[in-house]
Structure 1
Amino acid sequence: MAQPNSYEEQRRRQVQENKRKLDELRLHRLSAAVHEAAVKPMPTKELKLRCIRAPPAPTRRSGRVASLPDQPDYRERKAPRGLPQPPDRVYATDEARDYAFSKAEELKNLLSSDHPSFIRPVTHLYATGSWLKIPVQFKRRYLPPCDEMIFLVDEEDGEFQMRYNAKGCGLCTGWNSFAIGQKLADGDSLVFQLVQRTKFKVYIIRASSYYENEHCRRL
């Protein structure tokens, strides 16, 4: 029986030794503090309301200025004074168009065969736009293969310079000024006679002459 008593005595001493070490380390107090902190509720933070600023007061404006009428916007582009304006959108009748073209053919047949020529009926686009198409066959046979400046001479021997676009086969920059200056209109017919390598004499057969002719016939 001495051996069990010795075991129990040794176990009791070990328990006392462990308790003494715990007291020295104060672990039981630390555990109690942790447990208390976990149970204790955390203080809640008060929510702060954001202040909404009032809209700024309207800008003060002089009563005299406010009563004035709206001022014009000078940034708008206006047509320069003195330049001719394009004609109104008026279309010729089929009779007037055919009359002008037939007279253009008669004139072309009377011109010298030493200088090639062609007829170009005028549409509203040609009369007001910035482009005039040249017949492809005429361009390939008589005109330069690259871009150049072309001169048009009207019936009063006035010269107009414009750019010839070889790839597009037409007259571009400068044509609009010629068309508006000559007061071309839908239904007119133009006869172009190549008098030099880059110069045309231009004859204008106006569609309005049809109505003048009809009026003379009725008198």
Structure 2
Amino acid sequence: MATTEAGSAGAGAAYEEERRKRILDNLKHLEDLGISKMAKSLIQATRQPDKSARASPKPRKKFDASTEVRRSSRARTTVSYKDDFPELDDFVRRRRISKSSDNGRGYTGRISSYQQQQRAFKRAEKLQDSLDPDNPSFVKNMVRSHVSSCFWLGLPSSFCKDHLPPREHKMVLEDEEGVEFDAVYIGNRTGLSGGWRGFSMHHDLEDGDSLVFELAEPDRFKIYIFKAIEDAKEAEPNGKNADMDTADTNSAEEVLDQMDSPVSEPPSSPEPLKGAKKRKLHGRR
């Protein structure tokens, strides 16, 4: 039995020796391939601390209790520095003025009556009839959006479709005195935008005025202006506009003179008296 135990112990020792040799051979083989160095570098990399760690949040500022809190119900008196810095007030005023001027000219406030607008429109139609028939033309009444704020002038779509290009096009606006203004015609919106503001402000156009647009050239509009509310200078005869109104003005003055004359005055003939009475009765109606 002792012999059996000694044999088993010797066999176990031989196995362990064989196992140790196999491990050493494997390690040597791994070193030859460089795998052992790679394993060591990976182990060192995992042990290094992470430098991109999340930063700790900043501590919140504590309320300073030494500052006295205002508990009074009275309103705090406002402090003005205008006396110390007068140039600041001038700067603010200039800035407001420049800002308002950039936004556009405000409407003048003169509102024309329906009769005044119709009179200007009829005068414009008379002038349009006397223009060259080979030049396309149209009459346009002014509204507030045409002569103030946005300064956008929409043109008749049928006229634009027949005589103007469907794209953006540079045009020249020429008034009766030959003064020219550069403008931009936007074909897809059938209207004038750039340059129309300068033309409108230069001629002091107002709500109710009537304008005749004559397409003298493919890129040039000849514009005739008829004011609904005429000033003293504009009422004096000058050019085509006053020549066409001379007959209408004279006839209107004669009617007013006959209506204002006293009835007791003996008329030169009975027929003018009847006409005056008819006109007077017509005016009362």
TM-score (norm 1): 0.64
Larger radius of gyration: 1
Query: What residue is the counterpart of 1:100 in the other structure?
Result: 120
CA distance in 2, matches of 1:155, 1:86: 25
Shift of 1:125: 1.9
How many residue pairs get aligned? The number is: 161
- Evaluate the alpha carbon distance shift between residue 210 and residue 157 of structure 1 in structure 2; reply closer, same or farther with a 3 A threshold: closer
Aligned equivalent of 1:186: 207
In 2, are the aligned partners of 1:130 and 1:174 still within 8 Å (CA)? no
Partner SS state of residue 124, structure 2: helix
Structure-2 change in CA distance of 1:214 and 1:114 (3 Å): closer
Post-superposition shift, 1:67? 5.4
* Structure 1 position 201 matched with structure 2 position 218: no
Relative contact order (C-alpha < 8 Å, sep 6+): which is higher?
1
Which stretches in structure 1 are left out of the alignment for 5+ residues? Answer: 1-49, 57-64
Aligned partner of 1:39 in structure 2 is none
Match of 2:9 in 1: none
Contact 2:172 2:180 in 1 (8 A): yes
* Residue among 87, 94, 97 paired with 1:78: 97
- Note the alpha carbon deviations across 1:33-71, whole angstroms, 9 max, x for none: xxxxxxxxxxxxxxxxx9722259xxxxxxxx7854764
Change (3 A) 1:214 1:95: farther
Pairwise CA RMSD of aligned residues? 3.3
1:90 aligns to what?
Answer: 110
- Match status 1:124 vs 2:141: no
**Which runs of 5 or more structure 2 residues have no equivalent in the other structure?**
1-62, 70-80, 236-247, 258-285
Residue pairs, 1:43-192, within 5 angstroms: 52-54=65-67, 68=84, 71-72=88-89, 74=91, 76-79=95-98, 86-128=106-148, 129-192=150-213
In the TM superposition, structure 1's runs of 4+ consecutive aligned residues that sit over 6 Å from their partners are: 213-216
Task: State the one-letter code of the partner of 1:115.
Answer: N
Distance (whole Å) between structure 1 residues aligned to residue 218 and residue 171 of structure 2: 9
Counterparts of 1:169 and 1:144 in 2: how far apart (Å)? 9
Contact 2:213-2:221 at 8 Å conserved across structures:
yes
In 1, Cα distance between equivalents of 2:82 and 2:128: 68
**Structure having the larger proportion of residues in helix:** 2
- Are the aligned partners of 1:100 and 1:210 in contact in 2 as well (CA < 8 Å)? no
Deviation at 1:148, TM superposition (A): 1.0
Deviations 1:98-118 (A, max 9, x none): 000011111111101010000
Contact 2:107/2:144 (<8 A) preserved: no
On the 8 A contact 1:87/1:180 being kept in 2, the answer is no
Note the C-alpha offset of 1:214: 6.6
Change (3 A) 1:160 1:52: same
Post-superposition shift, 1:78? 2.8
Deviation at 1:126, TM superposition (A): 1.1
